[in-house]
Structure 1
Amino acid sequence: MSAVIAEWPQNQTKHRTFPKPVLSASGRAHLCLASRSRVLRSRLGEDVCAVLRLSGPLKEQYAQEHGLDLQRLLDASAYKEAYRSDMIRWGEEKRQVDPGFFCRKVVEGVFQPVWLVSDTRRVSDIQWFREAYGALTQTVRVVALEQSRQQRGWVFTAGVDDAESECGLDNFGAFDWVVENHGDEQRLEEQLEDLVAFVHSRL
């Protein structure tokens, strides 16, 4: 574990297990991140790979504080969309007070050695994982042409698609991995195979 930093970030609770590695995945809406995350998990095995969603603890906490149906918020439904803008605002307020609030919650109790964070959206999210797990953190950016996203049902929504929750990593810089999901399944398969091979090399 020589790659692991010696000190934990302030307010960080040490976990029972340590990942190897953390895949911090990001991308705009309608890139099929969730489905690709499930594909990666199935190839690595559920006992090896945990898919972590930062939106999970966010929605859970939001539902508790606002008396809403958590299961319906977790679905890609009109119910979720009705509260989406307010959830974004509320989540930003939480992060301003404590940038690592949702990151700490999402890793609690995880036992698998590979962590795939499927909805990284902000620089502060990546910074938290890098501070906690050092070089074990690998950034994965999924990209697609706007036309491809529109074919999957994406329609621009002001106040949502131009907010930090969607655009926060547009100018992040160099990602460790860039996965193109323009609709070429063979090319996508090749990229996923490379990523799976990399993960296996770290186990």
Structure 2
Amino acid sequence: MPRVIALISGKRKSGKDYVSNTLQAYTSGKSEVVKISRPIKTHWAKEKNLDLDELLSDSGYKEQYRLEMIKWSEEIRAKDYGYFCRTACESAKDNVIWIVSDVRRKTDIQWFKETYGSKVRTIRINADEEIRKNRGYVFTPGVDDAPSECDLDDYTEWDLVLNNNNENLERVQQFVNRLVPSLEPVGFVDFPNF
């Protein structure tokens, strides 16, 4: 059972994976990255004989299957909104900190707060569209206008917000340096927007 759960959210190519991986590296073996999308991608890898590691990576490989994965996962969520959150957590290890790198819906946040209460902190990674395009983002109808990308656009109860527009990564490193001491098992401090 983790003592702290950091829920990371943001649009495609905002830097969620980079921040999550950097945060994991800074917490020196006390944390792990948990992906809500892992059960979805595991299903598709088995179903279509695909490379799971490539589906889980930030490569273009997964983009070929993203729309199909979204449609299938929405059918599952309609029956049980917490299914993928619960399944992802069942395979997580007993680390002090879980970094959930791909929170996309209000129901994801709801499930974690209902299940883990005060251990949960929400973090939003923002980046301007032009910056995201420089990182490889291309608007895809049915993906970028779907709940998987837009459901949290009007969510306002973030514990911390990072505006990740700096191409030299200095701001991300400052963010992680500031966040890590606050992830000690005793709890979080109150963060203003960064």
Q: Which TM bucket (shorter chain)?
A: 0.7 to 0.9
Deviations 1:141-169 (A, max 9, x none): 00111121111121111111111111111
Who wins on radius of gyration, i.e. which is larger?
1
Q: Single out whichever of 76-85 and 86-95 deviates more from structure 2.
A: 76-85
Describe the shift of the 1:66–1:178 C-alpha distance in structure 2 as closer, same or farther (beyond 3 A).
same
Q: Single out whichever of 54-63 and 22-31 deviates more from structure 2.
A: 54-63
User: Equivalent pairs: percent with the same residue?
Assistant: 40
User: Equivalent residue of 1:202, what SS?
Assistant: coil
Counterpart in the other structure of 1:197? 181
Q: 8 Å contact 2:4–2:185 — kept in the other structure?
A: no
Superposed, 1:166-185 pairs within 5 Å as 166-183=149-166, 185=169
Superposed, 1:114-133 pairs within 5 Å as 114-133=97-116
- Please list every run of at least 4 consecutive aligned residues from structure 1 whose deviation after the TM superposition is greater than 6 angstroms: none
Cα distance in structure 2, aligned partners of 1:89 and 1:83? 10
- Give the partner amino acid of 1:144: A
Counterpart in the other structure of 2:44? 62
Cα distance in structure 1, aligned partners of 2:20 and 2:57? 16
How far apart are 1:93 and its partner, in Å? Answer: 0.4
| Superposed CA RMSD | 1.7
Cα distance in structure 2, aligned partners of 1:189 and 1:77? 23
- Give the partner amino acid of 2:179: L
Q: Single out whichever of 61-70 and 35-44 deviates more from structure 2.
A: 61-70
Which sections of structure 2, spanning at least 5 residues, go unmatched? 188-194
Counterpart in the other structure of 2:147? 164
User: Equivalent residue of 2:98, what SS?
Assistant: strand
Q: Single out whichever of 28-37 and 134-143 deviates more from structure 2.
A: 28-37
Q: Single out whichever of 72-81 and 103-112 deviates more from structure 2.
A: 72-81
Deviations 1:27-49 (A, max 9, x none): 00111211221111111012x10
Counterpart in the other structure of 2:80? 98
Matched pairs, number: 185
Which sections of structure 1, spanning at least 5 residues, go unmatched? 1-17
Counterpart in the other structure of 1:15? none
